[in-house]
Structure 1
């Protein structure tokens, strides 16, 4: 069910293990979608199509239904999907709640990687990310294998920027 279309006090959410997928995960990797859906209430959401409404909705679900856990699963590298991870962290902060949570990203449509809530937090602060990149420039060699935008910039624009 779509995150925005579920009633926040529905009995299925009360004390439940919830997984919120980026809407396209089920189409990109149905095997991972099915595996992570087991024994969870499944919600989907597309931040690109539906905006930032997930912040309030996730907070309302936590306040109203007291879920046991929430798992977020999105596509790595999507600036839109990233907001779903930040929405969960922000909701827990605003509500002063500490429920079990997990953040996952699907790398290149194949590999599922668990990330920490702190990774999500740091990614919001570009000056910290910039400092980390300056200390670890080899991270760019990893990026070129995943980001078409960076590959284009590296191949076409870098000579002009030097």
Structure 2
């Protein structure tokens, strides 16, 4: 695993995995599944690094045209880790990501639970969530 913010933007391959830095220690089984998906795993802690810095760094990596797939993976229920899943939407505002597959996972009890883009988008809309909750 490499530190995202200390890695060169050209040190990328076809598939990159961006994880919350605590994932490996919090859920080793789920992390092992990510290692099966790609050996290019980068960690970042959004308690330490502002999300805008992460957006800029990943944007630079994508600009190299070497990346075809990004996987974002975090532990579940962490407000800081949840932000990592929001990076993709900010990148979409900056550049065309039509040729890049983006997947999101949260680690739960050794498993990787796939999270839909719509779920991530909805999680930022508390008013809509509240109306759905009141049903």
Structure 2 residue aligned with 1:28: 26
Q: 1:69 to 1:2 in 2, by over 3 A?
A: same
User: Alignment partner of 2:83: what SS?
Assistant: helix
Q: 1:105 to 1:25 in 2, by over 3 A?
A: same
Stretches of structure 2 that go unaligned for 5 or more consecutive residues are none
Structure 2 residue aligned with 1:91: 91
Q: Render the CA deviation track for 1:72-110: whole Å, top value 9, x for unaligned.
A: 110111110011110123213321212111100123x54
Q: Give distance in 1, aligned partners of 2:15 and 2:127.
A: 35
Kindly state the Cα deviation for residue 50 of structure 1 after the two structures are TM-superposed.
Answer: 1.7
| Structure that is richer in helix per residue | 1
Deviates more, 1:56-65 or 1:68-77: 56-65
RMSD over aligned CA atoms reads 1.5
- TM-score (structure 2 length as normaliser): 0.88
Structure 2 residue aligned with 1:4: 5
**Does 2:40 correspond to 1:45?**
no
Higher relative CO (Cα under 8 Å, sequence separation at least 6) belongs to 2
Structure 1 residue aligned with 2:107: 106
Kindly state the Cα deviation for residue 29 of structure 1 after the two structures are TM-superposed.
Answer: 1.4
The ranges of structure 1 where at least 4 consecutive aligned residues each deviate by more than 6 angstroms after the TM superposition are: none
Stretches of structure 1 that go unaligned for 5 or more consecutive residues are 136-162
Q: Give distance in 2, aligned partners of 1:93 and 1:118.
A: 16
- TM-score (structure 1 length as normaliser): 0.74
User: Alignment partner of 1:49: what SS?
Assistant: coil
Q: Give distance in 1, aligned partners of 2:35 and 2:89.
A: 21
Question: Is the Cα–Cα contact under 8 Å of residues 19 and 36 in structure 1 kept in the other structure?
Answer: yes
Q: Give distance in 1, aligned partners of 2:104 and 2:37.
A: 17
